[in-house]
Amino acid sequence: MRRIKKLLTPLTAATTRARAAPDATPSASGFLTIGTTTYIDPRGSYPLDHRLNGSATLIINDTNHHITIVTERNHNDPPTPPLDQILAPGERTETHRGDSVQVG
């Protein structure tokens, strides 16, 4: 039995270290509203749903971080400047385009 514990010790240590690694994307304090959904202390990326009736989606940045509205890109076109839209804390916008909202 002692031999099995000895074999499993390095595996246990490796999984403990992996869990202790910090997340690269810090969470924002406050609220991010996309359409009718509000996220508390958002972190990472959130999908941007397109409305069936063609109306714009409201995005409200009530956080302490900048957010980026990541827009669609056609990879077959020649390179163009980024069309991403950045919202500072406290700003809001309505958009008809975009794939996701990225915090940070």
pLDDT in tens, 41-95: 999 999 988 778 888 999 999 999 999 998 866 555 566 666 789 999 999 999 8
2 half-sphere exposure, CB direction, 13 A CA radius: 0
**77 DSSP assignment:** S
Which pTM was predicted? Answer: 0.67
For residues 13-36, give the mean pLDDT. 69
**7 DSSP assignment:** H
Tell me what percent of the chain is helix, strand and coil, each rounded to the nearest 5. Answer: 20, 35, 50
